[in-house]
Structure 1
Amino acid sequence: MIDSAWLASLGHEVAGLLTQPTTWFVACVVFISGITRGFSGFGGALIFIPLTAAVLGPRKAVAVFYLFDLVSATPYGFSYLPKSRWREVAPMAIAAITMLPVGAWVLKTADPLILRWCMAVLVSAMLLLLMTGWRYHGQPTPLASAVAGLGAGLAGGATGVSAPVVIAYWLSSTAEAAVIRANIMVFYAIASFSTDVVYFFNGLFTFDVVVYALIAWPIYSLGLALGARFFKGSSDTHYRIVAYVLIVISVVLSLPILDRFIR
């Protein structure tokens, strides 16, 4: 049973946050993140975490995202199971889950600036590889999927952003956009739920994180619905172009040298 004093404190905290410009900035970012995730199957964290980390701090930004994503995008992602290729998703998801505790430990103990610079370098390298036009012309193997999952789990647990690893892996294939999107949606549904469990036991879901997540949840859900409608009218070419643009945005926004323009 929920304590009435806790609910009163929660309502007071929400009311206070709604009077702050920072909250409305976060709300705008949440909406854009939702549209992005609904359209492409990824990108919510790519947009939300780099921008809000400058005003909330990396640990809080990551925790807030995964909490509101759990109750909005995660159930939506599981609905794509029939359209996904489970033989490709399962090895990646299992490998990612095994690395999440390691990534969460890094998030709690490492210097946030070092984490952000490392991620920017990693994303840039993967983007350059994709833009060369290189494609893997075979079927993704369980071993390759597992290796990609290990990298995604570590990056996701440590920075909240695992999309570049996953997207670089699946966009390098010749699969249709609908299949790629379904695989991504299912993988992130599994990975997000697992990340929330790990973060919970690491004490990352503090009271103020819950408050921000409650404010963000309905805004993000609306963005998801709009993004999904946009996807229905897109082609494979448009899908890949949007994916590349999102990766570029993630690189630029994650650079710590831009913090002074966001704060």
Structure 2
Amino acid sequence: MPFDLPLATAAALACALLAAAFVRGYSGFGFSAIFIAFAALLTNPLPLIPVVFLCEILMTVFQARGIRGQVDWRRVSALLAGAAIALPFAVTLVLSLGDANVRLTVSLIVGIMALVLLSGWTLQRRIGAPGTLGVGLLSGAINSAGVGGLPVAAFLSAQPMQAATFRATMIIYLTGLDLLTLPLMALGGIVSWDTALAALLCFPILACGVWLGGRRFLSTPPATFRKFAVLLLLILAGLGLIRAMLS
């Protein structure tokens, strides 16, 4: 078993992976945050973060054909430029944290971002390149904890945007963000053969979850499901904080 995880822990993580892949297939975001927040309840999530990034890249392969014409490439470029500036410093910092501090950091970030998303705040106009670059900086800063998609989801959902464009833009941005983050984590020594093995074992679960989520996207109001995903993040973050305080 990769990372010497107990069988019961691995089974629970597999169930969380399926649920998170379903959310990603439906909404375009939330996969890494849901899975990492759940993993933090059971184990040190840090070694699993590169696995999550590989999983997100694999999921984009499943979804790429259906979203190419719906991506806001200008926003994606500005977001990635900001993330690239922050990532080297952020990854260095998170790799210096201990197990307990990583769990606490993940839960705090997920909780704060979930509250922002749940608040339903809106912007009256489209934000230009400088503001988008700033959101990318924040996203890169917290993606070292595996949850860099949440501030971007909050930023994009606060502006007038069609659901299909939101979903496609999130999928492509998160893939680019993961491709930027993985080499830095490899240099930090937390990418190993176990990382690749775990990603391969995850493949059939990801395929099933993304397929089911994509089908659901065609039949359910996006705002309804997005609210459900955010509430799930908030619950996981709360449980994580409780666990961190009791440990």
TM (norm. structure 1) is 0.81
The SS at the match of 1:160 is: coil
Match of 2:211 in 1: 225
| Match for residue 132 of structure 2 among 128, 140, 145 | 145
| Match for residue 96 of structure 1 among 83, 88, 93 | 83
| Match for residue 181 of structure 1 among 145, 148, 167 | 167
Instruction: Give % identity.
Output: 24
Letter in 2 for 1:84: V
Structure 1 residue runs of 5 or longer lacking an equivalent are 1-12
Map 1:76-225 to 2 at 5 A. Answer: 76=62, 78-79=64-65, 80-157=67-144, 159-225=145-211
Deviations 1:44-63 (A, max 9, x none): 11221122234341211212
The answer to whether 1:65 aligns with 2:81 is no
Deviations 1:17-69 (A, max 9, x none): 79822221221111111111111101111221122234341211212212333
TM (norm. structure 2) is 0.86
Matched pairs, number: 246
Letter in 1 for 2:214: A
Match of 1:34 in 2: 21
| Cα shift at 1:210 | 2.7
Structure 2 residue runs of 5 or longer lacking an equivalent are none
Larger Rg: 1
Q: What's the RMSD between the two structures over aligned residues?
A: 2.7
| Cα shift at 1:260 | 7.8
| Cα shift at 1:192 | 1.6
CA distance in 1, matches of 2:187, 2:127: 33
Deviations 1:1-21 (A, max 9, x none): xxxxxxxxxxxx57x979822
The SS at the match of 2:124 is: coil
CA distance in 2, matches of 1:134, 1:104: 29
CA distance in 2, matches of 1:29, 1:259: 23
The change in CA–CA distance for 1:189 and 1:203 in structure 2 (over 3 A counts) is: same
| Cα shift at 1:236 | 4.2
Moved more, 17-26 or 222-231: 17-26
